[in-house]
Amino acid sequence: MLLPSLRQALSAAAEAWAGRCGLSLPDNLPLNPAPAHLKDADVSVPWAMALAKAARMPPLKIAQALAKEWAALQQIESAQAAAPGFVNLRLRARALCDNLKAVTLAPDSYGADPAGPKTRMLIEFVSANPTGPLHLASGRGATLGDALVRVLNRLGRRAQAEYYVNDAGARVELLGQSIKARSEGREPPEKGYHGAYLQDLASQAPAEAAGWDAKAWGHYAMEALLAQHKKDMDEFGVRFDRWYRESELFASDAVSKTLDFLKRRGMVYERDGAVWLGTAAAEGSRDDKDRVLVKSDGNPTYFLPDIAYHKDKFDRGFEKLIDIWGADHHGYVPRMQAAIAALGRSPDDFHAIVHQLIHLYRGKEAVKMSKRAGEFVRLAEVVSEVGRDACRFFFALRTPDSHLNFDLELAKKQSSENPVYYCQYVHARICSIFREAAKQGLLPEGSPLPEPDAALLTAGEERALLVKIAWFPEALKAVERELSPHPLANYVLELAGLFHPFYEKCRVLDAASPELSRARLLLCAGARDTVAQGLGLLGVSAPEQM
């Protein structure tokens, strides 16, 4: 792969120069696409500015020195320093074509980072209480978590997906009181669950339910709702390695054992008959006050089993924990970071992603309610109307911390206005090109792709595609760095945008120029495979016909 090998070569040469100057090269230095106005550059490297302070040299002077070091590298055609401290690189056409061939030979491993860390990571997401149907915001969390798992595993990390089921505590009985009231034609308790979905569940209960108490009703409703959650996630294309139940923690005595563990570490104290976690003064704590773990009545707060669950994650051998939460959990982040520190782990071993709200529109009109009066918008309803692909791609296009306006009408459009249709259409169009090439005998079906000929792919539109295809591994690294799929979704959209002018200006199938046709078919194959890989890592299909 061109960009990863280029990064290694640039780093080795820069480290050699820095060593001669008595300096060390910082970690995780970026590679950036060259600005559009630079027609003779493909990569812009800002490393000189990171070295300037330690070197006590102007960034431009460092850039000039690095450009001289890098000009001789085999992947580079030219290296030019530019103010205030950039080195702009033009890649060799041969290197771009070799990368293109590598993509088509092994698309399923394109973007892998075999030299990177093999970190065991657990990503917990959705984890909606099984007291009601999954709403639309759960789809945003599901897209975020599932895409991260896919991309991190492509890179070579060891990531697993987990759904935490809150099936213990008072919520079970409260749910039972609510559905029992519905079954008897009464209103649920004031602080109970009031959704009309409970009427449906009550009507579907077996005949013996007439003799159930609130607890039995609660277990019935919770299991039915959890089964629906699993069905919704399956239809949304999300797979979890484990559905971890809170009741498992209590059954294994993990909650009380965690409390004992915190006591031995001197992290808890008693006051007013309650047991408190002394997080505010703990080293590395980011919380502003101590928190109750066990109430004066002897019952644990929800915080204690949460701590036990995260301790269990570490005890299972996971090195890095990522939790994805809804917008209403923002204030819980420093609390859990403090708990991680209380467990004796570095706060950096835990990262919480809080995704913001979704505002649903039908054109310009806001959609505030679902088809069932008084309920939130269900994920299943939206997926049924616009399809899984549109939901997942739209959710992936924005950073988690930004509010998302989701237009149902736009998501259903079969035109270039719809970003997911725009990307999928490119893949389908390229597949149709190959079918036509087989008919014309230019590339019979099943025959190997030709070797790339750099001397033939010289048009500006061809080079733009070659360079963009080469940036795919960097897009995956950006997903890992930012813990968000939006760099990949936008990359696929940009790659699709570059294919259209290529297709308009560069005739692919031309019986009079079979060698050029085959070279362009190889370029089409690289674009097709890269689009398909990008969509697949986002959980979006790549249709061959549309």
pLDDT in tens, 413-468: 999 999 999 999 999 999 999 999 999 988 888 788 888 888 999 999 999 999 99
pTM, 2 dp:
0.94
Strands (E) in 166-300, as ranges, are 242-245, 268-271, 274-277, 291-294
Residue 515 pLDDT exceeds 70: yes
Strands 350-354, 320-325: parallel, antiparallel or unpaired by DSSP? parallel
Residue 196 in tokens: 């009309």
Torsion (CA) 93, 96, 101, 107 in degrees, nearest 10: -170
| Cα angle, residue 293 at apex, residues 292 and 294 outer, rounded to 5° | 100
CA distance 378 to 363: 19
> Is the CB of residue 481 less than 8 Å from the CB of residue 27?
no
Amino acid present at 65: A
Number of Cβ within 10 Å of residue 204's Cβ equals 10
User: Same fold for the domain at 2-91 and the one at 416-537?
Assistant: no
89 phi/psi in degrees, rounded to 5: -110, 140
Question: Which pairs from 442-446 meet CB under 8 Å and 24+ separation?
Answer: 442/509, 442/511, 442/514, 442/517, 442/518, 442/521, 443/518, 443/521
Instruction: For the chain, give the mean pLDDT.
Output: 93
> Which three-class secondary structure string do you get for 80-140?
EEECCCEEEEEECHHHHHHHHHHHHHCHHHCCCCCCCCCCEEEEECCCCCCCCCCEHHHHH
Residue 371 pLDDT exceeds 70: no
| Cα angle, residue 399 at apex, residues 398 and 405 outer, rounded to 5° | 40
CA distance 77 to 92: 5
As a whole number, mean pLDDT of residues 394-422 equals 96
Name the maximum alpha-carbon separation found in the chain. 90
Measured CA distances, 459 to 160, 464, 501, 505, 516 (Å): 43, 9, 11, 9, 12
Element (H, E) at 365: strand 365-366
Domain boundaries, the chain: 2-91, 416-537
Class of domain 416-537: mainly alpha
Torsion (CA) 168, 172, 173, 178 in degrees, nearest 10: 160
As a whole number, mean pLDDT of residues 306-315 equals 98
pLDDT, residue 511, reads 84
Element (H, E) at 310: helix 303-315
321 phi/psi in degrees, rounded to 5: -110, 135
Element (H, E) at 79: strand 76-82
Cα(first)–Cα(last) distance of the chain, in Å?
31
DSSP β-bridge partners for residue 45: 87
Tens digit of pLDDT for each residue in 256-290?
A: 999 999 999 999 999 999 999 987 655 555 667 88
Residue 323 in tokens: 């939790």
Local structure of 275: helix, strand or coil: strand
Measured CA distances, 4 to 34, 75, 251 (Å): 17, 11, 48
CA distance 362 to 409: 6
Class of domain 2-91: alpha beta
Local structure of 392: helix, strand or coil: helix
Residue 404 in tokens: 């998302």
Residue 369 pLDDT exceeds 80: no
DSSP β-bridge partners for residue 294: 275, 300
Question: Which pairs from 268-276 meet CB under 8 Å and 24+ separation?
Answer: 268/293, 272/296
CA distance 483 to 123: 11
Q: Measured in whole angstroms, how far is the alpha carbon of residue 328 from the centre of its chain?
A: 20
Residue that the structure tokens 């049924």 belong to:
384
> Is the CB of residue 87 less than 8 Å from the CB of residue 42?
no
pLDDT band per the 50, 70, 90 thresholds, residue 34? very high
CA distance 28 to 315: 29
Least confident stretch, 29-43, 245-259, 377-391: 29-43
> Is the CB of residue 321 less than 8 Å from the CB of residue 265?
no
Amino acid present at 262: L
pLDDT, residue 373, reads 45
Residue 545 pLDDT exceeds 50: yes
How many C-alpha atoms does 253 have within 13 Å on its Cβ side?
Answer: 3
Q: Which residues of 361-399 are buried (b: 16+ CB within 10 A; e: fewer)?
A: eeeeeebeebebeebbbbbbbbbeebbbbbbbbbbbbbb
Residue 86 in tokens: 């950039």
pLDDT, residue 285, reads 58
> Is the CB of residue 310 less than 8 Å from the CB of residue 350?
yes
pLDDT band per the 50, 70, 90 thresholds, residue 152? very high
Q: Where are the alpha helices (DSSP H) in 351-418?
A: 379-386, 388-396, 408-412
Amino acid present at 263: K
pLDDT band per the 50, 70, 90 thresholds, residue 409? very high
pLDDT, residue 507, reads 94
Number of Cβ within 10 Å of residue 39's Cβ equals 8
